[in-house]
Amino acid sequence: MNTPGEVVILNDYASLTGGSTTVASASALGLAAREIDVTFFSSVGPVMPQLQDVPHLRVICLGQKEIGKNRNRLQAFVNGWRNARAMRALRELLATKSRENTIVHAHTWTMALSPFVPQVAVEMGFRLVVTLHDFFITCPNGGFFVHSKSEICRRVPLSLSCWGCNCDRRNFGHKLWRNARTLTQNRLLRLPEKVAAYIGVSAHSLNVMRPYLPPDTPVRVVRNPIDCPQEEPAAVEENRNFLFIGRFSPEKGVRLFAQAARAAGVPAVFIGDGALMPEVRRICPEARFTGWLNQEALRRELRSARALVFPPLWYETLGMVVVEAAAAGVPAIISDRCAATDYIFNNINGLYFAHGSAESLQRQMAALAADRDLAAQLGRSAYELYWRNPWTAEHHVSELLEIYNLILQPAALAAHGGKFDESVSYIRADG
């Protein structure tokens, strides 16, 4: 087995700013623990403490600004399109690496690095793996979502209809800039077809993108690393709180949750923050607001909950929080059209509500609040399904290495018909 001698991880951020960086850093640490030399290459600092002074792990952080937070708008415009400094730095790094046993694994590049950075890797002959944490490889605004109407977008990316749709959260000018950047990425650089392998974080999100991905490029779903301590399942039948965890923005469905919780008359706890905080407080003044919490405090809140509510108005690519809740034995009430339907099954380890319907969500919350036996049953199933095959960093890294090994051995990949085994590795409800 031709285990990679080195892995170069590309990620916009070197600090924990979201789920993609959590996964990128966990994979870096897991690979380094197996004595594989890893370089974590990023644009925006600071460097998180977890990545510092780790054997077999080197961090390169350019100390640049995220394009959305750069007050120099001309610089942001240029760097977001083509980050020349990052390109030079990556060229210098890869010039010291072997193309035969080095994998370049890109997680995110749209917030700082720019699409020209992963392009450097393929130009220099390195095999490029891309994890699809979002939809930017296909959709210019990264979400297949029309922010002005709060609705899922089904337009063909970069079609005339796409160019004419004001879907961006900021303004139409920013949408046109993003379209032009995606046009450069996909039509001029032809980056998607140069990727050696795609990793999806859920079958649902992968299937949304699949019509727009090169048909001959191998793809596989790999579970994100979610290391949770195994404790006794939460006694959800004794709990009353319904939790929302996430950014307070329209697409996350926080307004929907507030309206449904108020109408159902159930105790609501909001964990997170964001632009909609004042509005949510007006809708649900009796609720408890915690702000962002560390992992230990978050686990305590989960264990005191009747259920987690996951109500996004867009697809999402996964919804890691529903998996974390399941690990604690807490069921989730989720939209029936989001990616979390890959892991939460209606009336088995959670409940579905009609996408975007506050009335449907209200009915499900009220039903669960009134039925102790149902809460206990769903909680037990959530716990058992998760711990039957937990989402550990160890499992995540093992699956990455399987993919890397096949990519580095063209004959072995050809023996598989040029494809990976796409059978997903999480436990489904039918076992």
Distance, CA of 125 to CA of 373 (rounded, Å):
58
Q: What is the CATH number of the domain that holds 114?
A: 3.40.50.2000
Q: In the predicted model, is pLDDT for residue 413 greater than 70?
A: no
What pLDDT score was predicted for residue 424? Answer: 40
Structure tokens at 171: 């303004």
- Looking at the fold, whether 192 and 276 belong to one and the same domain comes out as no
What pLDDT score was predicted for residue 418? Answer: 62
- Looking at the fold, whether 135 and 258 belong to one and the same domain comes out as no
Distance, CA of 292 to CA of 159 (rounded, Å):
39
- Looking at the fold, whether 258 and 374 belong to one and the same domain comes out as yes
Q: What's the total number of domains in the chain?
A: 2
Q: Which of 343, 350, 353 minimizes the C-alpha distance to 377?
A: 350
What pLDDT score was predicted for residue 427? Answer: 35
pLDDT tens for each residue of 108-166: 999 999 999 999 999 999 999 999 999 999 999 999 999 999 999 999 999 999 999 99
pLDDT tens for each residue of 25-65: 999 999 999 999 999 999 999 999 999 999 999 999 999 99
Asked if residue 289 is part of any domain, the answer here is: yes
Task: Give pTM, 2 decimals.
Answer: 0.92
- Looking at the fold, whether 352 and 401 belong to one and the same domain comes out as no
Q: Is the peptide bond before 46 cis (omega within 30 degrees of 0)?
A: yes
pLDDT tens for each residue of 175-226: 999 999 999 999 999 999 999 999 999 999 999 999 999 999 999 999 999 8
- Looking at the fold, whether 150 and 132 belong to one and the same domain comes out as yes
Asked if residue 231 is part of any domain, the answer here is: no
275 residue type, one letter: A
Asked if residue 170 is part of any domain, the answer here is: yes
- The boundaries of the domain holding residue 52 are 6-226+394-415
Burial 353-377 (b: 16+ CB within 10 A, else e): bebbbbebbbbbbbebbeeeebbbb
Residue 38's H or E segment, with its range, is strand 37-44
Distance, CA of 198 to CA of 45 (rounded, Å):
26
Asked if residue 425 is part of any domain, the answer here is: no
Mean pLDDT of the 73-96 span: 90
Asked if residue 431 is part of any domain, the answer here is: no
Asked if residue 307 is part of any domain, the answer here is: yes
DSSP characters for 91-120? Answer: HHHHTTS-SSSEEEEE---TTTT-THHHHH
Q: What phi and psi, each to the nearest 5 degrees, are found at residue 63? A: 65, 30
Structure tokens at 318: 């996964």
Structure tokens at 383: 């716990």
